[in-house]
């Protein structure tokens, strides 16, 4: 399984010069909690950072700053962890865990934005894997019954 099969392809993006209020309005409009900050938002969309609803609250609202007077580039997390579209989900989970990151932009081989994967997306994947694993025992019991008759 590749991480590209688990990611959300329709990723909300903005440029680093977008106002924090503009980013918050995009989050509201698209019902998302994060925006990937990209260079060339109308072209190749190379991810350079990420801003979350928590960043807006902690870095702007809690400090009483004007969200119109700040740009996304001022508050975005620019120590960006990305995953390649062919990366293994389990390796991505480990990298997220080590960095304490819940959302990871997924990039193509050329480095352009291909989507975003969240901890929630990965939890769904793991739940499905666990469900498959839970089916082993009943099949094993059926196999044993047939073999012993």
Q: Are 113 and 79 in contact (CB under 8 A)?
A: no
Whether residue 145 is contained in a domain is answered as: no
Ordered per-residue pLDDT tens for the chain, 149 residues:
999 999 999 999 999 999 999 999 999 999 999 999 999 867 789 999 999 999 999 999 999 999 999 999 999 988 999 999 999 999 999 999 999 999 999 999 999 999 999 999 999 999 998 888 887 776 666 666 777 77
Report the distance separating Cα 26 and Cα 17, nearest Å: 14
Residue 61, domain extent: 3-118
What CATH number should be reported for the domain holding residue 80? 3.10.580.10
In the three-class reduction of DSSP (H, G, I as helix; E, B as strand; rest coil), residue 138 is classed as helix
User: What is the tally of structural domains in the chain?
Assistant: 1
Angle, vertex CA 70, rays to CA 67 and CA 74, nearest 5: 125
Query: Does a structural domain hold residue 40?
Result: yes
Token code pair at residue 54: 């928590």
Q: Is residue 143 part of a domain?
A: no
Question: What is the spatial distance between Cα 16 and Cα 75, in angstroms, rounded to a whole number?
Answer: 9
Task: Decide if 140 is inside a domain.
Answer: no
The pTM for the full model equals 0.85
Q: Domain for residue 97, yes or no?
A: yes
- Beta-sheet pairing, 46-52 with 34-39: antiparallel
Residue 139 lies in a domain: no
Residue 131 within any structural domain of the chain: no
Residue 148 located in a structural domain: no
């Amino acid at each position: 399984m590749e991480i590209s099969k688990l990611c959300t392809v329709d990723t909300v993006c903005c440029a680093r010069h977008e106002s924090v209020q503009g980013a918050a309005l995009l989050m509201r409009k698209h019902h998302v909690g994060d925006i990937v900050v990209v260079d060339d938002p109308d072209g190749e969309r190379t991810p350079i950072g990420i801003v979350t609803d928590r960043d807006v609250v902690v870095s702007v609202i809690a400090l009483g700053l004007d969200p119109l007077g700040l740009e996304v580039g001022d508050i975005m997390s620019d120590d960006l962890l990305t995953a390649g579209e062919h990366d293994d989900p389990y390796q991505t989970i480990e990298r997220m865990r080590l960095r304490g990151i819940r959302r990871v932009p997924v990039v193509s081989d050329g480095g352009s934005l291909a989507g975003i994967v969240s901890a929630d997306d990965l939890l769904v994947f793991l739940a499905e894997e666990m469900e498959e694993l839970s089916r082993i025992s009943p099949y094993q019991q059926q196999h044993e019954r047939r073999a012993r008759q």
